[in-house]
Amino acid sequence: MENLTELCEIAYKYGTDKCPQIKHSYTPYYYKLFKDKRSEVKKVLEMGIGYYGCMKHVSEVWDNQLKRKYKRGASLKMWRDFFPNAQIYGADIRPDTLFEDERIKTFLCDETKKEDIERLVEQAGSDIDLFVDDGSHRSPHQIFLAQTLLPLLDDGVTYIIEDTEWTRKISRALSDYKVEVVGFTPKKFRNNKLVVVRK
């Protein structure tokens, strides 16, 4: 396993699968990207809050007893702890995922509906520093969300699409922006890649 960062440890504490201890190797990359500007990030918005039904792989069992079960908003809590001055927003299509906590606010949003996306920006603001798409993971939805949302966000946003499989298709669809594909080894999962878009 690669060198674990402070962000990896925070992610593991809350039980988000963004860290290599559970599944993906995103947190070392995120740490490298943001470690020198943690205090400058003021707004984070993540699409996809998650619920137990789709996050059973996060659970751990020892001695035939369930010791950890996915908790709602794990990655939102991770972002809150990592960015000390940031307001964290989450959005999801499922009403049962919504919650509020210290510096965390969540909204109902269908990433396939333009009016929902526009309302989300009205609620959270256009001045987002980091946007993370961890929603449906379907490439048509990822493309539609990015093409609809990016023009509504201020310049300077770092827009990251997680769990991408069809990276060339996504990159072509977003060719008006600076796009980078980040892959991770070992390639345990077909969709273990990020598409990083800068506006």
Catalytic residue list contains 24: no
Q: Given 24, 57, 137, 141, which residue is catalytic?
A: 137
Per-residue pLDDT at 71:
72
Residue 21 counted as domain residue = no
Residue 4 counted as domain residue = no
- Tell which wins on pLDDT, 187 or 45: 45
Per-residue pLDDT at 139:
95
Residue-wise pLDDT for 16-53, tens only, equals 989 988 888 999 999 999 999 999 999 999 999 975 55
Residue 131 counted as domain residue = yes
Residue 2 counted as domain residue = no
- Of 33, 158, 25, the residue nearest 149 (C-alpha): 158
Tell me how many helices (H) and strands (E) the chain has.
Answer: 6, 10
Residue 32 counted as domain residue = no
Structural tokens at position 58: 């996060």
What is the domain extent for residue 194?
42-198
Per-residue pLDDT at 66:
43
Structural tokens at position 68: 């950890």
Residue-wise pLDDT for 151-179, tens only, equals 999 999 999 999 998 899 999 999 999 99
Residue 89 counted as domain residue = yes
Residue-wise pLDDT for 1-12, tens only, equals 558 999 999 999
Mean pLDDT of the chain: 89
Residue 90, CA distances (Å) to 32, 60, 131, 186, 188 in order: 23, 25, 10, 29, 28
Residue 14 counted as domain residue = no
pTM over 0.85: yes
Residue 77 counted as domain residue = yes
38: number of CA atoms within 13 Å, CB side? 14
CATH code for the domain in which residue 149 is found: 3.40.50.150
Q: Amino acid letter at 18? A: K
Residue-wise pLDDT for 51-89, tens only, equals 555 555 555 544 445 455 567 899 999 999 999 999 999
Domain count, the chain: 1
Residue-wise pLDDT for 101-141, tens only, equals 999 999 999 999 999 999 999 999 999 999 999 999 999 99
